[in-house]
Structure formats: C-alpha cells, structure tokens
Homo-oligomer: A and B are copies of this chain.
Amino acid sequence: MCQLLGMNCNVPTDICFSFTGFRARGGLTDHHRDGWGIAFFEGRGARVFLEPRASADSPVAELVRHYPIRSLNVIAHIRKATQGEIRLENTHPFQRELWGRYWIFAHNGNLVDYQPALSGRFRPVGTTDSERAFCRILDRFAQRFPDAQPSPAELHEVLRELAVEIGRHGEFNFLLSDGDRLYAHCASRLSYVIRQAPFPVAHLSDQDLTVDFNLVATPMDRVAVIATTPLTDNETWHTMEPGSLLTFCHGALVSLGENRTLASPVTCAPACNGQSNA
C-alpha cells in the first residue's frame, strides 16, 4: 500500500512540516521503501522530484524537507511497489501536458489486470497500473473536450465517471491536479484537514515535531492537506467516504456535482500573494 499526500492552499505555502512526517513513512515509521516523489506547482509550471529509493535516506528528500518551496498545489507519493519494477519511470507522481497545462497524478491501490484501450495520445512510459490509469484519464479528457479545458463542473463529472470505471479493476485512491485545483478520490482510505484561523499547534504522528501555525500564517491563509492517513495526532481530520471525489481549490472544498452537500463550499477565487507553511 502506497502513501499519498496532497496540499491545496489559497496562498503559496511550503510543505516542510507535513513532508517531514510523510517522509518518515518511506522506510522509517512505515515500510514503503520502493521510491518516492513530490510535485510542486508554481504558477503554471511544475517541478517534480523523483527518487526510486526510500525517502527516509534520500538526499533529495532531505533537500525538500529543508528547502521551503512555496506552492498552491502539491502532490507527493511514497511507493510500495505492487506492479512494475522499482525504477524511475515507475515512480509517482506522473506528469503530462493537456490543454497547455501540466497535470500531475499519483495513485494508491492496485488495479488488477488493468489494460485500458488507449488512443495513443498519452502512453505509459513505465509498467505500472497507475500510469496506465493516468493515461486513460487524460485520454478520455482529451477525447471528451478536444479543444480546451472545460468548466470545473464538467471536468469533475467526467472524472467521477472515470473513477467509477477504473475503480472496477481494484483499489483506486488518487490525487490529480492541474495547478489550480486538486482532485482527491477515495476508494478505501483518504483523509483531509483544512487549516485556517484560529490555527492549531499541530503535532506530527510520525515524528515528535510541533509547529504553531499562528506564528507562520496570516489570518487569511487557508490550507487543505490530504493524506492516506492523518499526519497529525491533535487535529480533526475528516475521513473521506469510499467512492467520493472531492475538489479542493484555494484550501477549501469546492461545491460541484457530487460535492453539493459538503460543508464549507467555496467559489474558487483568485489567490492572494502571502506565503504560508504547512
């Protein structure tokens, strides 16, 4: 079972605190030693750090833990290989371009005998079920909306159909982002917390580390953190319902389609220019 971590914010925020606990799961507090990766969106650009080795003893992970890269959308993954060798091309998150935007994807679960029919526009480079699923998603997006990115509601609807279709082949928890929104699909296990003023003094579950967000955030900051299992032991994490697909924008849940009944719906408005920490 792999580990997923996502972050979606309304101000560029570094993920050093959350990543410190998450990274420990790659060989220290948990046994996921088969590679790790993290993608940071900055504007329309994305930088992706990948290593096909345990995060707990990775020099690149050490850099990421200490170097505050501030981003509105982050997706990280720690791999416990089920399908595909331990190789760089099988290391999540995966990246492709569609509609002039980068798309980043990471998966937790196992899709059995999953060999989708693909048009050839997006082809897997590696040999994982996960990358095949990502190619299927983008292939369908491109077929359904060939000219330009559709409205968030239309995209959410197609993604929900794809999550059901692909989920028939096995466990399909995933995080997907285009740098504006972060989509989280729970098949079996995914939780999230939304941090906003008044901020907590958060304590990691995987390391004895505490941060008082009041000292590093402004009252306007809002940060959603999504993870396979809660990263802190003194905050209220929401357990996602199996089968649910949530859209996060600017650190809050977006009310769209199946999300209509969720708490804290927000309109996805332009972000301000502060800087925060998570």
- Which A residues lie at the B interface, using CB under 8 A? 42-52, 59-60, 63, 67, 87-91, 95-97, 99-102, 120-126, 146-147
Contacts and interface: CB of A to CB of B under 8 A. Distances in A.
Contacts of A97: 96, 122-123, 125
Contacts of A89: 43-46
Contact of A100 (B51, B52, B124): B124
Contact of A47 (B63, B88, B100): B88
Contacts of A125: 44-45, 97, 100-102
A113 to B, nearest CB: 20
A276 to B, nearest CB: 19
A51 B67 CA distance: 12
Given A96-B96, A100-B124, 13 more contacts: A43-B87, A43-B88, A44-B88, A44-B125, A45-B125, A47-B50, A47-B88, A49-B49, A59-B67, A95-B95, A100-B123, A102-B125, A121-B121
Nearest to A71: B88
Contact of A123 (B63, B88, B99, B121): B99
